[in-house]
Amino acid sequence: MSLRERLNISRFAIAHSWLTICFWLALTVAGLFAFSSLKYALFPDITFPVVVVNAQAPLETALETEIQLTQTIEQQLQSLAGLDDTRSSTYSGQTVVSLAFDVGTNLESSTEAVKTALQQAELPPETTFEALSVNLNESAAISYAIKSEEKTLPELIQITQEQILPTIAELPGVLKVRLLGNATPDEAEPNSSITASPTLTRFNSENAVAFQVIKRGAANTLEVVSRVEAAVQQLQGDLPQVQLVLAETQADYIREATQATIDALLLAIVLAVLVIFPFLRDFRATLITALAIPISLLGTCIAMAVAGFNLETITLLALALVIGIIVDDAIVDVENISRHIEAGESPRQAAIAGTDEIGLTVSASTLTIVAVFLPIAFMGGTVGQFFKPFGLTVSVAVFTSLLVARTLSPVLAAYWLRRRDGEMGRWGDREIGRRGDGE
Q: Give 116-160 pLDDT, tens digit per residue.
A: 999 888 888 888 988 888 776 677 889 999 988 888 888 888 898
Residue 60 neighbours by CB distance under 10 Å: 9
In this structure, are 323 and 395 located in the same domain?
yes
pLDDT at 359 over 90: no
Q: Is the residue at 211 inside a domain?
A: yes
Domain containing 347 — which CATH number?
1.20.1640.10
Q: Number of structural domains, the chain? A: 3
E strand or H helix at 149: none
Q: Is the residue at 433 inside a domain?
A: no
The pLDDT value given to residue 315: 92
64 Cβ contact list (under 8 Å, min separation 6) = none
Band (438; pLDDT cuts 50, 70, 90): very low
In this structure, are 205 and 322 located in the same domain?
no
Tell me 311's DSSP state: B
In this structure, are 398 and 289 located in the same domain?
yes
* Interatomic CA distance for residues 400 and 406, integer angstroms: 10
In this structure, are 214 and 81 located in the same domain?
no
In this structure, are 94 and 188 located in the same domain?
no
The residue out of 227, 249, 271 marking a domain boundary is: 249
DSSP secondary structure string, 64-98?
Answer: HHIIIIIHHHHHHHTTSTTEEEEEEEEETTEEEEE
Percent of the chain with pLDDT over 70: 89
> Is the separation of the CB atoms in 144 and 210 below 8 Å?
yes
Q: Is the residue at 439 inside a domain?
A: no
In this structure, the strands spanning 201-203 and 206-215 are antiparallel
How confident is the model over 97-119, as pLDDT tens digits? 999 888 778 888 888 999 999 98
Q: Is the residue at 171 inside a domain?
A: yes
> Which residues sit opposite 88 in a β-bridge?
97
Averaged over 409-432, what is the pLDDT? Answer: 67
| Sheet containing 83-91, strands listed edge to edge, beginning at the edge strand earlier in sequence | 83-91, 94-101, 49-56, 128-135
* Interatomic CA distance for residues 30 and 302, integer angstroms: 7
The pLDDT value given to residue 136: 64
pLDDT at 245 over 70: yes
Q: Is the residue at 438 inside a domain?
A: no
The residue out of 216, 249, 282 marking a domain boundary is: 249
In this structure, are 270 and 382 located in the same domain?
yes
In this structure, are 201 and 312 located in the same domain?
no
Higher pLDDT, 433 or 211: 211
Residue 23 neighbours by CB distance under 10 Å: 15
Band (385; pLDDT cuts 50, 70, 90): confident
* Interatomic CA distance for residues 353 and 414, integer angstroms: 11
pLDDT at 339 over 60: yes
* Interatomic CA distance for residues 73 and 128, integer angstroms: 12
In this structure, are 367 and 272 located in the same domain?
yes
The pLDDT value given to residue 433: 45
pTM of the model: 0.77
* Interatomic CA distance for residues 437 and 439, integer angstroms: 5
How confident is the model over 171-201, as pLDDT tens digits? 999 988 988 887 666 555 555 566 656 666 7
Q: Is the residue at 437 inside a domain?
A: no
Band (432; pLDDT cuts 50, 70, 90): very low
In this structure, are 23 and 65 located in the same domain?
no
Helix, coil or strand: residue 37: helix
The residue out of 135, 165, 190 marking a domain boundary is: 135
Residue 414 neighbours by CB distance under 10 Å: 22
Domain containing 148 — which CATH number?
3.30.70.1320
Higher pLDDT, 418 or 427: 418
Distance in angstroms between the alpha carbons of the first and the last residue of the chain = 38
321 Cβ contact list (under 8 Å, min separation 6) = 394
Q: Is the residue at 306 inside a domain?
A: yes
pLDDT at 435 over 60: no
Across all residues in the chain, what is the average pLDDT? 85
Domain enclosing residue 35, as ranges: 3-43+253-419
Q: How far is CA 430 from the centre of its chain?
A: 50
How confident is the model over 46-68, as pLDDT tens digits? 777 889 999 999 988 899 899 99
In this structure, are 169 and 263 located in the same domain?
no
> Which residues sit opposite 100 in a β-bridge?
50, 85
In this structure, are 238 and 261 located in the same domain?
no
In this structure, are 100 and 16 located in the same domain?
no
Q: Is the residue at 425 inside a domain?
A: no
Averaged over 218-236, what is the pLDDT? Answer: 91
Q: Name which of 169, 153, 157 is nearest 231 in CA terms.
A: 169
pLDDT at 437 over 50: no
Domain containing 61 — which CATH number?
3.30.70.1430
The Cα-based distances of 305 to 36, 58, 224, 284, 387 in angstroms read: 10, 54, 20, 32, 17
> Which residues sit opposite 196 in a β-bridge?
179
How confident is the model over 257-314, as pLDDT tens digits? 888 888 888 898 889 889 888 888 889 999 999 999 999 999 999 999 999 998 888 9
